Amino acid sequence: MALIVLSLFLLLFTFQLPFRSSGQSSSMESVPDLQHTMYASIEGYPCVRLLNLSGNIGCSSKFALAFSVPMNFPCFVVSELLDPGRDKVVAPIVRFGNVDKIAEPSAVLVSVEDFPTLFTRISDDSRFASKVSGVLVEPSTDLQNKINGFSPDQKFPQGQFAPYHNTGYEWNPIGSGVMWKSYNFPVFLLTESGSKTLQEFVTKNEDKKKAYTSNVAEFDLVMQTVKSGTLDSESCLKEETCLPLGGYSVWSSLPPINTSSLQQSKPILMAVASMDSASFFRDKSLGADSPISGLIALLAAVDALSHLDGLDDLSKQKCTSSPVTGNLRWLSSQLVFAVFTGEAWGYLGSRRFLVELDLHSDAVHGLNRGLIEKVIEIGSVGKGLSGGVNNFFAHTEGDSSASNQTMAALKRAQESLLSENIKIASASSSNPGIPPSSLMSFLEKNPAISGVVLEDFDSVFVNKFYHSHLDDLSNVNSSAVVAAASLVARTLYILASKNEDVHDSTLSTINVNVSLVEQLMGCLLDCDPGLSCELVKKYISPMSTCPSHYVGVILDEPSSTPYTGYINDVPRFIWNFLADRTSIPRETNSSGCQHGCNDRDEVCIKAETDGKGVCVLSTTRYVPAYSTRLKFESGVWNVLPPNSSEKMGVVDPVWTESNWNSIGMRVYTVQNAAYDRLVLFGGITLTIISYLAIATARTLFSKAMKRD
| DSSP assignment of 69-82 | --TT--EEEE--TT
Beta bridge partners of 59: 183
The pLDDT, as a whole number, for residue 75 is 42
What pLDDT score does 553 carry?
96
Q: Where are the alpha helices (DSSP H) in 57-143?
A: 115-124, 126-129
Q: In what order do the strands lie in the sheet with 614-617?
A: 584-585, 614-617, 602-605
Sheet holding 49-52, edge to edge: 182-183, 55-59, 49-52, 656-658, 242-244
pLDDT at 414: 95
pLDDT along the chain (708 residues), means of 10: 47 44 51 67 89 93 42 38 44 78 80 90 88 87 78 96 94 95 90 83 60 63 76 94 96 89 78 97 95 98 88 42 41 90 97 96 92 95 90 87 90 91 94 96 92 96 96 95 97 85 85 97 96 96 94 93 93 97 74 80 90 91 97 94 88 94 72 69 86 86 74
Single-letter residue type at 285: S
> What is the C-alpha separation between 132 and 89, in angstroms, rounded?
12
- The pLDDT of residue 690 is 85
pLDDT confidence of residue 315: 41
pLDDT of residue 546: 94
The identity of residue 15, as a single letter, is F
Question: What count of other Cβ atoms lies within 10 Å of the Cβ of residue 296?
Answer: 30
pLDDT value at residue 74: 41
**pLDDT score of 216:** 63
Q: CB neighbours (10 Å) of residue 599?
A: 11
Query: Would you list the DSSP string of 349-404?
Result: HHHHHHHHHHHT-GGGTT--GGGEEEEEEE---TT-EETTEEEEEEEEES-HHHHH
Which are the contacts of 126, defined by CB distance < 8 A and separation ≥ 6? none
Cis omega (within 30 of 0) for bond into 585: no
CA distance 81 to 77: 12
8 A C-beta contact, residue 260 and residue 373: no
Residue 331 Ramachandran class (φ > 0 left, ψ -120 to 50 alpha, else beta): beta
Q: Any residues with CB less than 8 A from the CB of 435 and at least 6 apart, and which?
A: 171, 379, 395, 453, 455, 457, 461
Tell me if 623 sits within 8 A of 366, measured CB to CB: no
What's the confidence (pLDDT) of residue 31? 61
* C-alpha to C-alpha distance for 34 and 25, rounded to whole angstroms: 8
| Predicted pLDDT at 485 | 97
Residues 660, 243: Cα–Cα separation, whole Å: 11
Q: Give the span between the Cα atoms of 585 and 596, in whole angstroms.
A: 15
Residues in Cβ contact with 511 at an 8 Å cutoff, skipping those fewer than 6 apart: 304, 486
Q: What is the pLDDT of residue 86?
A: 41
Give the phi and the psi of residue 656 in degrees, each rounded to 5.
-135, 165
